[in-house]
Amino acid sequence: MLDPFGDKAKRLVKEEFGGITELLSIIPSYVGIEQALERVSWVKSGEVPRDVLDMGDVQDLLTFYALLGALAFSPYGIEMELVKEANSKIYSERLRRAGRISGTAVELRTVREGDIPPRDRTILERTHHHELPPDERERLRLRYKVHLGKFLELWEGSLKEVYLRKGHAYLTTEQALRLWEKSFEKNFERAVNLLYEVRDELPGYYLQLYERLGEIAREYFKERLERMGSAEAQPLRFELFPPCVKIALGGVPSGLRNYAITVLLTSFLSYARLCPSPSRRDVRIRDCVSDLSVVEKEILPVIIEAGNRCSPPLFEDQPHEVKNIWYHLGFGLTDRPTLEDSGNSTWYFPPNCSKIRANAPQLCKPDRHCRNIKNPLTYYLRRLYIVGRKGKEEENVEGGGDG
Ligand code: SF4
């Protein structure tokens, strides 16, 4: 398989297995946990094993989707980074070996005679420089073209690096591979986001696989984790919150108050601060902290202040609503909870975007980061991940880096 998100893979998933849900339900019977892990366990060596490269299409799809299913438990964690990095290498290595990039999710077409005026070719490919060795000549050759719209959607480099003509971008093999990598990354995130919605329905197999991935990822990213501390729970980054949460924080009119403050803000802030990637839905606050000080000092005051910014102020108007906040945090209906009370009621998980749009459409004012996002918490985790990755890239430029 040359691209697990290409047309061939899509056809296989649909025609052979009946769709993604069906595929995920049969995978545990066909793919052992160790077998799925073979796709990532080589990363430290930097070299993709030959049997992984030579895997047949169906086996490739099953083992790849086994890993995707496991990531539904924690999108944007180090497990995702590990799986994405390893699999991007596997597929790009296969594309290199194939010698031709085709059948991928990026609609690349081969450049034909006459597409590029000879004068431009002479300059760009340096065709008159007969002293150039053949591999250098090959490196300069513009072999692929892609529609400009698709290109701009994916390309992160400078436009000056690329030859643009009549609505197309013309690319060398390396540039085409870079574009494919971006497309892989986007499709990968999209798939993990979609699976996040169905994670409660996934067989226990995926949770086991996720835990094993965590072990490999912690080992692989050891240096970074030691330098930066765990990405699990960390102080809130308000600037990375989704628009709906920012609107709730600013205070809302009376008809929206209870939903914005008690349902959305309380669940979002508590999970984002205490347990950003819960591996199960019935997690309790006492599973994540050893005392209530973070809740009392960092979460509750933010909720109370946002409530007081509402018109009329929520907690002045309805003082008993504080009990309801504790109830939504899982402590039962109380205003003097202890850690042991955690679990007396359900710790409400942030509602999905579709629910927010249905119940409080005024809160959903999507920005560009909301694309493909299904839950405000994944929006936040994604932005944290991107900011963290940028930090890592800067560190690498300065000579640091790991993995
Ligand atoms: S799309 Fe989702 S995350 Fe974005 S503003 Fe709407 S509800 Fe919030």
Q: Are residues 141 and 170 in the same domain?
A: yes
- Pocket lined around ligand 1, Cβ cut-off 6 Å: 242-244, 353, 356, 364-366, 370, 373, 376, 379
What's the CA angle centered on 240, arms 234 and 246, to 5 degrees? 110
Q: Is the dihedral angle over the CA atoms 390, 393, 395, 400 positive or is it negative?
A: positive
Please give the model's pTM, rounded to 2 decimal places: 0.74
Whether residue 403 lies inside any domain: the answer is: no
Whether residue 402 lies inside any domain: the answer is: no
Residues 6+ apart with CB under 8 A from 118: none
Whether residue 23 lies inside any domain: the answer is: yes
Give the distance (Å) from ligand 1 centre to CA of residue 384: 16
Q: Are residues 189 and 253 in the same domain?
A: no
Whether residue 199 lies inside any domain: the answer is: yes
Pairwise CA distance, residues 331 & 286, whole Å: 10
Q: Are residues 216 and 337 in the same domain?
A: no
Which of 364, 382, 383 has most ligand 1 atoms within 8 Å of CB, for mutation?
364
Taking only the tens place, the pLDDT of each residue in 102-145 is 889 998 999 998 898 888 888 887 777 777 787 888 788 899 99
Q: Are residues 143 and 6 in the same domain?
A: yes
Whether residue 247 lies inside any domain: the answer is: yes
Report which of 280, 271, 243 is spatially closest to residue 356, judged by C-alpha positions. Answer: 243
Using an 8 Å Cβ cutoff, are 213 and 83 in contact? Answer: yes
Taking only the tens place, the pLDDT of each residue in 144-197 is 999 999 999 999 888 989 999 999 999 999 999 999 999 999 999 889 888 887
Ligand 1, atom 2, lies closest to the CA of 353
Which of 240, 370, 377 has most ligand 1 atoms within 8 Å of CB, for mutation?
370
Pairwise CA distance, residues 127 & 136, whole Å: 11
Counting the structural domains of the chain, the total is 2
Strands (E), 88-243: 109-110, 144-147, 163-165, 168-171
- What's residue 209's pLDDT? 96
Q: What is the atom index within ligand 1 of the atom nearest the CA of 247?
A: 5
Q: Are residues 244 and 364 in the same domain?
A: yes
Report the CATH number that the domain containing residue 166 is assigned in CATH.
1.20.930.50
Q: Are residues 70 and 116 in the same domain?
A: yes
- What's residue 230's pLDDT? 45
Using an 8 Å Cβ cutoff, are 157 and 182 in contact? Answer: no
Q: Are residues 86 and 235 in the same domain?
A: no
Pairwise CA distance, residues 142 & 123, whole Å: 12
Using an 8 Å Cβ cutoff, are 194 and 55 in contact? Answer: no
Using an 8 Å Cβ cutoff, are 372 and 193 in contact? Answer: yes
Q: Residue range 58-79: average pLDDT?
A: 91
Pairwise CA distance, residues 186 & 352, whole Å: 21
Pairwise CA distance, residues 155 & 153, whole Å: 6
Q: Which pairing describes strands 168-171 and 163-165: parallel, antiparallel, or unpaired? A: antiparallel
Q: Are residues 236 and 210 in the same domain?
A: no
Q: Are residues 183 and 258 in the same domain?
A: no
Q: Are residues 236 and 134 in the same domain?
A: no
| Amino acid symbol at 107 | E
Pairwise CA distance, residues 173 & 171, whole Å: 6
Q: Are residues 50 and 150 in the same domain?
A: yes
- Cα-only R_g, the chain: 25
Domain residues for the domain of 251 are 231-397
Which of 379, 383, 384 has most ligand 1 atoms within 8 Å of CB, for mutation?
379
Whether residue 226 lies inside any domain: the answer is: no
Whether residue 242 lies inside any domain: the answer is: yes
Give the distance (Å) from ligand 1 centre to CA of residue 244: 6
Q: Are residues 168 and 270 in the same domain?
A: no
